[in-house]
Structure 1
Amino acid sequence: MSSEVAISVTDLGKCFHIYGKPRDRLLQMFSRGRKQYFREFWALNDVSFEIRKGETIGIVGRNGSGKSTLLQLICGTLNPTHGSIVTNGRIAALLELGSGFNPEFSGRENVYLNAAVLGLTRAETDGRFADIEAFAEIGEFIDQPVKTYSSGMMVRLAFAVAINVEPQILIVDEALSVGDELFQRKCFARIEAIKASGATILFVSHSGSTIVELCDRAILLDSGEKLIEGAPKNVLGKYQKLLYAPHDKVAGIRAEIAHGVQGAASHKPADSNSISAKQVQPPRVAETDDMVAFHDPHLVSQSVLSYETHGAVIESPAITNLAGEPVNCLLRGNTYRYTYQVRFDAGATAVRFGMMIKTLAGTELGGSVSAANLQDAVSFFNKGDVVQVEFNFQCQLNPGTYFLNAGVTGAVGEGETYLHRLLDACLFRVLPVSNLTATGTIDFNCICDITTKGSEED
């Protein structure tokens, strides 16, 4: 394995034996292999990938796809059925809530126990204990048995230990979702600091925005197989399409996703948007006071991703000015109209429409829905109805290129789901501005006042 590779996984597989009845385990033991009393369940099968030092990789997939099993195999808490795993560096892992904690021991004792497992001497743990205790913020409970802890207290302590051993490889498995909002932000800030230090991070999360913000690459697992890896935005789009697919179309979509990556051996992140340099570079436009928005025919999304439909189809997404003229090169501060049509191929109830503006990397910036809750949604549409949807929005974005999504939801069974959704439906650009003082992505109209209060000599 190259010295630049932190984790190498080759043809990895993990098979569990599933017994129908407890007595079958005993019968299997006495059968000496002459008869099989179990069925095989392959949680992972022939999974291969490499993670280079300093990369942050997100793993996504539906429940039961094998994500947690993969992390446990990498950490060594499970043994593979076949294949190999090679790691290069000290691993700190935050897997199942409280895993590795002895419930009878106090928090303090568990800190020393976990630190020893991670390779720290007692003297090293002594030197870091104050930082661990301060990060966990559980007060006097540090000396109480862990079995008396709430779930939030347990994950605080577990995370505090994991990130204070200076890991070269940090593995996190959706454990932060139980903490409160303030603690989650604190954890993500520390993860960003660990990433900046050059550590490798392997991260499992159901939060798409977290994957986009933290990760350099993403891997999609489904039914124990790796379907695709690449830029987080692309992988998340495929994952969401699979997640919301009708049951009878899942197999076809899985095959479509897997077929699209055959032969893709490169570990270099792919272009997340598949848009050309010509599209990204704005045309030369003279900056004058009478600039107007206009339509650039070359500025067309090449990465539109359509969900499978549940009786509705979104068509003709477009941006216009308030006079109804098509535009995709916008002026900051002006109001525009985002429109699309929805054709209903089946009756639908409790229908809501939505839009979302995203960066090229996939970070969600903001959007809107047509109703705040299901009680205010449109109660019913008939089969054959065609609806024109319009959202007016004020462009408060700084110069750059952005995407617009479109979605329609409705009641299916006992819940609400997407009847149809288009990711990257429209591509638009916000035109350059001279003498720009706003920074970042969104212009919050910040005003700076500077007042001189006099010198010390006065």
Structure 2
Amino acid sequence: MTILEVSNLGKAYPLKPAAGALFRSLLLKRQAVQLDEFWAVRGVSFSLSPGESVGIIGRNGSGKSTLLQLICGIMPPTEGTVQRNGRIASLLELGAGFDPDFTGRENVFLNAALLGLTAEETEAKFDEIAAFAEIGRFLDEPVKTYSSGMFVRLAFAVASHVSPDVLVVDEALAVGDARFSAKCIKRIRALRESGCTLLFVSHDVGIVRTLCDRALWLESGRPVAMGDVFTVTSKYMERMFEDTDDPPASLPDVTGNDEAVEPVRPQLAPLNHWGSHVGSIRRWNLRALSENASVVEYGENVCLEVEFTAPAGFDPAHLAVSLSIKDLKGTDLLVLSTHDENRGAFGGISGACKVAFEFVMRLTEGKYLLVIALEDRSTEAIQYFEYIEGAHYFSVTSQARRFGLFNVPVAVSVSKS
């Protein structure tokens, strides 16, 4: 059974001619000015079965929000069709479907009615919706007095508690705080387990990988790729990396020598590379039995060496180098940081620095990627001088069959009781 069928969907907007062009064509009896058109979305086709989840990714202006509005029926398509075989609950633009002069309570009933619930059905779910939204006494205040966070909490609570067959979310989780975002993700997972289909737009590739099985990549309104979420998001992040300024062929040696230092390149382009001081991390090397390990044996000693240039004016007490090993869905499995293991290690150091992390590989068999970060820990929210996701890719093998994701060292003793 197909819950949603999108066929050759497209939306065009007419572009007005330049001011005075139509008047001049009439005055001079020239050929009438031809109106141009802009295709915000074109040629999008896919189908979804109950319980499937698709993340829609792309740059700003790539047509993601327009596509969702077409799917939800908010605007008519210029071409193509959308076949819906169930109730669609959407969380699109902040405030969509809410009357600003109504109270939160009144808007719950209004929005639920728009989604097809009777007043009796909404009443039965109301306490659960109110508890999830955490609005408190402001539930009986006009929503025009709400902050953006309060607004999205109430909107998500309604959309996710009306038993939708398809839940459509457009960047809504970016508005709420971290606690509520985690709560929303937990709720979305519960809906998916119950058979709800998910269409999810976000610029956060990690969340897309966490929540979605497949990904649709849009560029200039047209589909670039659709398929396995990790494969598509990886290609997308590689494209984003390619579009940034290419790093120089060699980097200056900050120790004062004239010779150039050739940076060590990863075997694949990073998925994500950003920060306020991109280029500070000069080279890195993951070593196991091989010089640059692409296959690591379970239980093997591993060493990651990171060379970087300390940012000018940095506070040694708050500078940190961190590593994370993620699975192919982007979940952090192992995180190590000088901030936790050797805080203040950079006191008295300036210019070129080198950090070595040595540990025993305890991850079970699988494929993983490495994240390296140069961090400013002066505030509770970590600021990044440089963040490289996908600095290295490797597999772990094991001679014995092991279970779980990560096996911690443990002392086992047996004695007669």
TM-score of the superposed pair, with normalisation by structure 1: 0.67
Shift of 1:42: 1.8
Q: Is the 8 A contact 1:244 1:418 kept in 2?
A: no
Which residue identity lines up with residue 425 of structure 1 in the other structure?
H
Shift of 1:393: 3.6
Which residue identity lines up with residue 398 of structure 2 in the other structure?
L
Q: Is the 8 A contact 1:237 1:305 kept in 2?
A: no
Once the two structures are superposed, the pairs formed by residues 48-127 of structure 1 within 5 Å of their partners are 48-127=45-124
Once the two structures are superposed, the pairs formed by residues 18-33 of structure 1 within 5 Å of their partners are 18-19=15-16
Q: Is the 8 A contact 1:245 1:307 kept in 2?
A: no
Shift of 1:162: 0.5
Shift of 1:408: 8.6
Query: In the superposition, relative to structure 1, how do residues 399 and 113 fare at CA in structure 2: closer, same or farther (>3 Å)?
Result: same
Matched, 1:209 2:187: no
Once the two structures are superposed, the pairs formed by residues 360-375 of structure 1 within 5 Å of their partners are 360-367=328-335
Paired residues, what number?
Answer: 366
Mean Cα deviation higher: 6-15 or 161-170: 6-15
Match of 2:296 among 292, 314, 329: 329
Shift of 1:363: 2.8
Shift of 1:55: 0.3
Matched, 1:183 2:173: no
Match of 2:40 among 36, 39, 43: 43
Distance 1:317 1:247 in 2: 23
| Aligned Cα root-mean-square deviation (Å) | 4.4
Which residue in the other structure is 1:153 paired with? 150
* Aligned-partner SS, 2:55: strand
Shift of 1:328: 3.4
Q: Is the 8 A contact 2:281 2:386 kept in 1?
A: no
Which residue identity lines up with residue 84 of structure 1 in the other structure?
T
Match of 1:442 among 406, 414, 417: 406
Matched, 1:359 2:327: yes
Q: Is the 8 A contact 1:335 1:392 kept in 2?
A: no
Shift of 1:432: 5.5
Matched, 1:426 2:410: no
* Aligned-partner SS, 1:120: coil
Distance 1:103 1:138 in 2: 16
Which residue in the other structure is 2:362 paired with? 397
Shift of 1:139: 1.1
Q: Which runs of 5+ in 2 are unaligned?
A: 24-30, 247-266, 315-319, 376-382
Which residue in the other structure is 1:196 paired with? 193
- Once the two structures are superposed, what CA deviation does each residue of 1:116-169 show, in whole Å capped at 9, x if it has no partner? 110011111111111111111111111111111111111111111111110011
Mean Cα deviation higher: 394-403 or 228-237: 394-403
Distance 2:176 2:305 in 1: 39
Matched, 1:5 2:13: no
Shift of 1:330: 3.1
Distance 2:165 2:67 in 1: 19
Shift of 1:87: 1.4
Mean Cα deviation higher: 48-57 or 159-168: 48-57
* Aligned-partner SS, 2:154: helix
Distance 1:117 1:46 in 2: 29
Distance 1:74 1:416 in 2: 37
TM-score of the superposed pair, with normalisation by structure 2: 0.72
* Aligned-partner SS, 2:242: coil
Which residue in the other structure is 1:320 paired with? 288
Shift of 1:306: 5.5
Distance 2:272 2:134 in 1: 46
Which residue in the other structure is 2:255 paired with? none
Query: In the superposition, relative to structure 1, how do residues 327 and 12 fare at CA in structure 2: closer, same or farther (>3 Å)?
Result: closer
Shift of 1:341: 9.1
Shift of 1:319: 2.4
* Aligned-partner SS, 1:186: helix
Distance 1:326 1:175 in 2: 40
Distance 2:45 2:145 in 1: 41
Distance 2:179 2:281 in 1: 40
Query: In the superposition, relative to structure 1, how do residues 327 and 162 fare at CA in structure 2: closer, same or farther (>3 Å)?
Result: closer
- Once the two structures are superposed, what CA deviation does each residue of 1:290-327 show, in whole Å capped at 9, x if it has no partner? xxxxxxxxxxxxx9445799999999954225x97968
Distance 2:412 2:133 in 1: 38
Which residue in the other structure is 1:287 paired with? none
Matched, 1:168 2:165: yes
Q: Which runs of 5+ in 1 are unaligned?
A: 28-33, 250-302, 382-386, 450-458
Match of 2:130 among 124, 129, 133: 133
Q: Is the 8 A contact 1:16 1:43 kept in 2?
A: yes
Distance 1:104 1:326 in 2: 61
* Aligned-partner SS, 1:244: helix
Which residue in the other structure is 2:27 paired with? none
Shift of 1:212: 1.3
Which residue identity lines up with residue 304 of structure 2 in the other structure?
Y
Match of 1:246 among 228, 243, 250: 243
Shift of 1:422: 7.7
